Amino acid sequence: MPMSIRFVASLDDFVAKPSRFDCRSRGMKFLLRVVVVWFAAVATTFAQSAREFYHTGVAAYEAGNWDAAIEAFSRTIEMSPKSSQAYSARASSKRAKGDLDGALADLNYAIDYDAGNASLYAKRAKFRNLTGDLPGALADFEQSLALNPKSPETYLDRGLFKSEHDDLRGALEDFAQAIALDPSNPLPYQNRAILKSKTRDFDGAIADLSEVLKLRPNDASMYFARADAKYKKEDWTGAIADYDRAIALRPRNSAGYFARGKVNSARRDWDSAILDFSRAIATNPKDAAAYVNRGIARVETLDCHGAIEDFDRAITLDRNYADAYFRRGAAKLSSGDLDGAIQDLTSCIGRNPNHADAYAARGATRVGKRDFTGAVADYTKSIRLDPPAADYVRFRLALILRRQHLDEKPAGLSPAIARWPESWSKKVGLFVIGATSESDFLKQDSVAGLKTANQQQCEACYYAGMACLLKGDKKRAAELFEMSVATSWTPYPEYSLAREELAQLRPAVPAPTGTAKTTKF
């Protein structure tokens, strides 16, 4: 049974009380003084011991020794059974050890002994959240704020709770309240920025992260976060500037070079992208994604051999990296290795059956192999997996169906074209369905956008060549296929398809020489 210590007011008060003993004798007074001093010494010893055990528990907790911490706090509670502080500390130790039920039991005791302590309710709210007791957690947050409505920490914690459970609006309101109560704390800004980025409010996220950087100007992670928000809103220059600052603060962080490489790829600065991915690989040689992305950049600089080597390395590092097989298969298609392309693209599909681009690329490869039935199946699957991105796949499927005198409706081309805005792909589509003549199609000005005039010519000449071939004009078809190949724009499947058609029409003509590259299908 825990011992409860009661202190006397003073020695004189104690000895002045009536007693059946004669307390007036000098000996009795002396004895009573000894007893009082002993009780006072015992009380002081217990108090000191309780404090010592508590501090021992804190030291053990900070060292990660949960069992020792629990033991020390338990001894504190034995000596001071109503110490809410000791119960709360033991609850934290039990939580760290994974004993959530025990932790909650201790917090219940702590609240029983200190019902007006707002921080105990906030702490129990977080523990209840971990057990899945969401109504109980929310009720505790409410009680905590009722006791202390000016606690920025509790608003922050409740905001995190609401964010975790998809109450984004409520979370934003709580983060705003936390900021209003304590503008010097970077955490509410940081967490609000995360939410704003999720809701595509990139300007709002950037503004909040800028506030964090005012408070923590050397926090590399916040420069990374702000750069990511700028990247998502396609502010390439701003993103590069933030990644530069983050890399200066953490020059050995491979993720910084990788992220900056992605931005350089997005703005089509391939040489800078290759340099960044190379630096990422130098700091982390086992980063398969860095090899894949450097391979993509090398493809765009016509270094097909170097690209395939990078894709090889990525696959060695990660045998289940589906996109690495896709990229290597696409590179092999561009270089004319059709069998190797089909093998890699099939490996990609085996690892990711929903990879629409892999089906599209394998369909184009099968056209080159004259496997039109297989190509129809692959193109159809690609369209079904990703209808919005299937414009060129629809073109190629329509041409194969027409070539085999089959119904073109499965390509869904005419209904799709009707929904497209004015663009280069719409002009190609209108030609494929016969709404534009060859002369008008080929003489039209290039359309502003991501594709250059040379790239558009590569595509236009292939589709015009196919129209002639299907009408039986092989001579004109060959001329147009030669014009497509002459652009040397090997990234596009239209280049590879024109090359294979030309090889069928003029088997004596050697395949085009030089390096090749691939692109997204």
Domain assignment present for 88 = yes
Domain assignment present for 7 = yes
- pLDDT-derived band at 163, boundaries 50, 70, 90: very high
pLDDT in tens, 260-319: 999 999 999 999 999 999 999 999 999 999 999 999 999 999 898 999 999 999 999 999
Q: Which helix (H) or strand (E) holds 102?
A: helix 100-113
Given its phi and psi angles, is residue 434 left (phi above 0), alpha (psi -120 to 50 degrees) or beta? left
Q: How far is CA 75 from CA 99, 113, 341, 471, in A?
A: 19, 17, 71, 95
Is residue 509 over pLDDT 60? Answer: no
Residue 155 pLDDT: 97
* Residue span of the structural domain in which 74 resides: 1-114
Is residue 205 over pLDDT 90? Answer: yes
* Triad 436, 438, 442: Cα angle to 5°: 100
Residue 11 pLDDT: 27
The reported pTM is 0.78
Domain assignment present for 27 = yes
What is the rounded CA–CA span in Å between residue 240 and residue 49?
A: 59
Residue 48 pLDDT: 54
**What is the total count of domains within the chain?**
1
pLDDT in tens, 126-143: 999 999 999 999 999 999
Domain assignment present for 482 = no
Residue 488 pLDDT: 85
Q: Which of 272, 270, 274, 240 is nearest to 256 (CA)?
A: 240
The 8 Å CB, 24+ separation contacts for 228-234 are 228/197, 228/259, 229/193, 229/197, 229/202, 229/205, 230/202, 230/206, 231/259, 231/262, 231/263, 231/266, 232/197, 232/200, 232/202, 233/202, 233/203, 233/206, 234/266
Domain assignment present for 250 = no
Domain assignment present for 422 = no
Residue 74 pLDDT: 93
The overall average pLDDT reported for the chain is 88
- pLDDT-derived band at 26, boundaries 50, 70, 90: low
Q: Which of 49-53, 131-135, 400-404 has the lowest mean pLDDT?
A: 49-53
The encoded tokens of residue 155 equal 């608003």
Is residue 148 over pLDDT 70? Answer: yes
- pLDDT-derived band at 515, boundaries 50, 70, 90: very low
- pLDDT-derived band at 403, boundaries 50, 70, 90: very high
Domain assignment present for 84 = yes
- In the chain, what percentage of residues exceed pLDDT 90? 80
Residue 447 pLDDT: 72
Domain assignment present for 276 = no
CATH code at position 19: 1.25.40.10
Is residue 157 over pLDDT 50? Answer: yes
Residue 426 pLDDT: 93
| C-beta separation of 25 from 33 below 8 A | no
